[in-house]
Structure 1
C-alpha cells in the first residue's frame, strides 16, 4: 500500500464535509473547500476505491419507532484458544448480527458488537452459533441498556467553524420518524454507500429517477436513518482505539453518561448490564493520550471508577464493513439478512 495509504489535509476536510452532508453536491463542496469540484469527486473515488473512507446507512431508533429486528444490543467478549483468533474472526465476519469485531488487549481476544431482535435472540446466537465455533474457548455477554452516543456523531474536525456552518443544512420543519417498507428498502440499498446515484437506486427499486430522488431525500432527512462517513482511522491519524469500562454511582449515571458522550474523543457511550454500568469507546492519536483522558474523567466525574480498559490494535469489521489490518475497507456484509453472508466489495 504505497500512495493508497495516504490522506492529506484536503482528504480529511472532504471526509469531514461528507460526515456533515453525505449527499452534498460536488459544486457546493468545492465552493466551501475552495477546491475544484472535479478534483473532489476524483479524490473521493480514490478514497472509496482504496478503502480509506466509506459510508454506512442504517435504521436508527427514535422515540416513536424501533425496528423490531434491532431492538437489543450487546458487547460479547470472545476468548480464543492460542493461535485460533484469525480463524475465529473469519467465521464471525460473515454474520450479519455481528456488526463490529474488535481485536483487543487483556483477557479476551475479540469484542463483538451484536444487534438482534431481543436479548433472548442475542443469547441464542451466542450460545448456538458463536460459542461452538472451533477455536472459541469462552464468551461473555454484556447487554446494552441505553445508548447515549454512537459513531454516527463522531467527526474528524478538519473544517473551520465557518465551513461547517455553510455545510450544515437547516433542519426541515418535520422529519419523518417512522419508516415505510419503501424507506427500509432504500436504506438497504444505501447501506454500503449513501452517495449512490438516484438512477442506480431507481433501477434497483424499479421506479423513476425522480421518485427515487424523493425517496432518498425523505430517508436522508429523516430521524430514523443514521448515516456515517467512516475513515481508516490509523491512516487518518487516530493510532489508538480504547474501551473503558466504568462504574458510575447509579444516581449520577445518566448525567455522567450524557456528559461523557459529548466529549469529542468518544465514539460510543452506552450503559450496560454488567459489573461496569457504563462503557466508553474512544479514539486517540497516541497511547499516552489515554492517561490524559482518564485524568479528565477522574477530575470531572468524582466517584466514577475505571474497572477495566482495553486497547484495540485492529478492527476486523465495523458496522458490516470488513476491515483489513491497515484499517481499510475490503468488503461489506449486509446488516439486513440471514445469519451468514457472502462478503461483497
Structure 2
C-alpha cells in the first residue's frame, strides 16, 4: 500500500490522530470486502480531524462523541469516562441543545423490518427551481414529513432531497403531486435507493481517546428477531426529536410506570429497526465542506467497493442507487481542497471506478427531519410521523 499519505502530500503519519473507532457497521452482505479492496485508514489521516472552534471546546466535542456511542448513558457514567463532573456535563449539553449546536434524532432505520410502513422506499430527488425561488421552495419543502433531508447544492440542480414513502409507486406519486407542483419548481429527477450501506448514525467525531472509546463501545445486543409493533412506533414518535428524553416523561405520555417505560425504550434503542444520531452543527465544529460523489462502479466490484468506501471516516452516507451512477457517497471535509485529495485516493485505489458527478452542499435546510439554519445550527423539528 505504501507509506501513509496526508492531505498536504507528506508521507509522514500523524501520530496524534487515529481513525480507529470512527467506522460504523455496514450490512452483513457488505461487511467483507475482497482482499485488498479496503482503502488504508492511514491514507486518510489528516483529512478527518477535529478542528478548533470558538463555540465548541474539547470537552463539548468529547461529550458529543460519547453520546454518539452511548446516547442514553446516565450523566454519572459519562462523567467517569470523560473525567468531568456530571453536573458540568448536564449544563454543557443543555447549552449545546439550547443554542442548536448539538441534538439527537431517533428514527426508523433502513431495516427490512419496516416492510409495509411509511418509509420502506427511499430516494434522492433533484429539484431545479426558477431563478429567485430556491428559498421559498425550501421553506415549503421543510414542512413536509416525507422530506427528511434538504440539501442546497451546486451544479445543475438547486436542491437535493432525501424522501421516504411506503413504496416506490407512492414515492413517485409524492414527488409528482407534492414536490413538482410547488410554485417555483421547474423540474425534478428521482433516484431510488437500492441498498443503504451506511448513514449518518455511524459517523463519529473522533474526539475521544482510544481508552475512552473502548469504555463506551456498546455491547452488541441488537435483537434480530423482534419486529416493530404499535408501541414501538409510538416510542419512536416520542424519542424522535430527543433520544435522551427521561423515562419518566415517556411514562407520562404512555400511561405506564417509569421502569416499564425504561424497558420499552431499551428495546427500541437496542433494536435493529431504530437508529439514533447525536448530531453537531458541522460548520461550527469545523467541517466546512459537504460533498456528494456519484460513482459508477463495475457491478462485480460493487459490494467490495461500497463496503470499503462506507468504512471511511469522512463518509456520512453511502447507498447504492438505480441510476446512471450505482453508488452515491456523501462526505464531510474541513476544506474544499481536501476533496481533490480524497477523489485521487479513491479513484487510484479502485481501478475502474469513475466519478460521474460531484456536488457541493453549501447549506442544509433540513437534516433528518430537523430544520437547519444557514450557520448549520438546529432551528426546529418536523416529525416524520406527521400527516403529509
TM-score (normalised: structure 1)? 0.95
Tell me which moved more, 294-303 or 162-171: 162-171
Give yes or no for the alignment of 1:45 onto 2:100: no
Structure 1 stretches of at least 4 aligned residues deviating more than 4 Å after TM superposition: 173-176
Aligned equivalent of 2:238: 189
Deviation at 1:211, TM superposition (A): 1.0
Give yes or no for the alignment of 1:119 onto 2:168: yes
Aligned equivalent of 2:73: 24
Give yes or no for the alignment of 1:91 onto 2:140: yes
Q: For residues 61 and 11 of structure 1, what CA distance do their matches in structure 2 show?
A: 30
Q: Secondary structure at the match of 1:69?
A: coil
Deviation at 1:216, TM superposition (A): 0.9
Which ranges of structure 1 fall in alignment gaps of 5 or more residues? 340-345
Q: For residues 296 and 228 of structure 2, what CA distance do their matches in structure 1 show?
A: 37
Give yes or no for the alignment of 1:7 onto 2:56: yes
Q: Which of 308, 311, 327 is 2:357 aligned to?
A: 308
Give yes or no for the alignment of 1:328 onto 2:377: yes
CA separation of 1:5 and 1:141: change in aligned 2, threshold 3 A: farther
Q: How many positions carry a matched residue from both structures?
A: 336
Q: Secondary structure at the match of 1:70?
A: coil
Contact map agreement 2:325 2:356 (CA 8 A) in 1: yes
Aligned equivalent of 2:214: 165
Tell me which moved more, 175-184 or 146-155: 175-184
Deviation at 1:171, TM superposition (A): 2.4
Contact map agreement 1:74 1:115 (CA 8 A) in 2: yes
TM-score (normalised: structure 2)? 0.84
CA separation of 1:30 and 1:67: change in aligned 2, threshold 3 A: farther
Q: Secondary structure at the match of 2:176?
A: helix
Contact map agreement 1:104 1:111 (CA 8 A) in 2: yes
Deviation at 1:222, TM superposition (A): 1.4
Which ranges of structure 2 fall in alignment gaps of 5 or more residues? 1-52
CA separation of 1:13 and 1:250: change in aligned 2, threshold 3 A: same
Contact map agreement 2:223 2:270 (CA 8 A) in 1: no
Q: Secondary structure at the match of 2:284?
A: coil
Deviation at 1:250, TM superposition (A): 1.1
CA separation of 1:135 and 1:173: change in aligned 2, threshold 3 A: closer
Deviation at 1:63, TM superposition (A): 5.0
Deviation at 1:67, TM superposition (A): 5.3
Q: Secondary structure at the match of 2:282?
A: coil
Q: Which of 228, 247, 251 is 1:179 aligned to?
A: 228
Aligned equivalent of 1:288: 337
Aligned equivalent of 1:342: none
Give yes or no for the alignment of 1:317 onto 2:348: no
Note the alpha carbon deviations across 1:52-95, whole angstroms, 9 max, x for none: 00000012243555352111110000000110000000000000
Q: For residues 69 and 174 of structure 1, what CA distance do their matches in structure 2 show?
A: 22
Q: For residues 54 and 384 of structure 2, what CA distance do their matches in structure 1 show?
A: 27
Q: For residues 28 and 201 of structure 1, what CA distance do their matches in structure 2 show?
A: 22
Note the alpha carbon deviations across 1:253-293, whole angstroms, 9 max, x for none: 11111111011100000111111111000000110110111
Contact map agreement 2:106 2:243 (CA 8 A) in 1: yes
Q: Secondary structure at the match of 1:271?
A: strand
Contact map agreement 2:148 2:367 (CA 8 A) in 1: yes
Alpha-carbon RMSD:
1.4
Contact map agreement 1:56 1:193 (CA 8 A) in 2: yes
